[in-house]
Amino acid sequence: MYSATIIGASGYSGQETLDRILRHPELELAALGSDTYAGQPASSLDPRLARSSKPVPAFVTNADALTSAADVTFLCQGHETAAAFEPPANGIVVDLSGAHRSNDPAIYEQWYGFSHPRADELAAWTYAVPELTPPDGRLIANPGCYAIATILALAPLARAIETSGVVVDAKSGVSGAGRVPKDASHAGAVLDNFKPYRVGSHQHEPEIASALGFDICFVPHLLPIRRGIIATCYVVPRDGADLRALLQAAYADAPAVDVLPEGVLPELSRVQQTDATELGVFEDQATDRVIVIAAIDNLGKGAAGSAIQNANIALGIEPTTGLRLSGVLA
């Protein structure tokens, strides 16, 4: 049994990580860090935690949680806060924020709006997409939600498509904005509305480009729903390449990625509350383009699910242990 600590456990990604640890047969909680809930029982966040079959410790401050010397620490804080994080001397760290996704300090100034306080340590972190670039080392940068959906859809196709002019039209539920209230994610701004945001300036764009090896045109939109991402990618194949076959080959041994049969559309309802990915491939009958569509849960595969996968790999555990890989028929 391995021990796990969550820093920032009361946020959305922290709660989702906690849920997966509670169902994980090889992880047990060492500490729950939350400066907001410190000193309170876990049930103060969610009464259902009082019924957990696993022991759930009371909240302590994030600083105190870091003294737990856990085998794996999940860092679930905001980008700028996580950037100042000093890793423990031992143990694996999985950072769910964007604070360590690039080794280039200029990325944080241009795309995140802050100067990285530990820029000289960025090279020690590994950016890890479990199915494609598994973690190598004990400091792991978890991919962003839009990023992992797009990377899973396009990375296996990089040599088979024209890399100039790739367009990704992506849409996310409001939980992608985090738990802290914001004017743009207030119910009055979201319900009965649908809008693009951060057009041409979203922080996941350089992350995606770095992983793919080419630039894309990326436009995010906010859906009036709680969770889920649809990323619709428009590409031109080279020399009649069979993009569906390439994806099927890439993910043949990846239980968390499902390349759907021809004609079957990815849907949020099937991936919400899970750590799975659905990929669909469609030819545009009017042009030479092929449309690759990815559907994930932004809090599942887009955050906690991938974090648990990365931790499993780093610990030598079967990668999908503790994950939710299927929903229920409705």
**Residue 3 β-bridge partners:** 28
CB of 79 closer than 8 Å to CB of 47:
no
Tokens of 121: 């340590």
Is 76 annotated as catalytic? no
Torsions phi, psi of 29, nearest 5? -80, 130
Spatial CA neighbour of 277 closest among 303, 258, 254, 250: 258
Q: For the packed helices 145-154 and 204-212, what is the interaxial angle rounded to 10 degrees?
A: 30
Tokens of 173: 């539920």
Determine which one of 76, 145, 217, 233 is catalytic.
145
Q: For the packed helices 12-22 and 305-315, what is the interaxial angle rounded to 10 degrees?
A: 50
Residues annotated catalytic, as ranges = 145
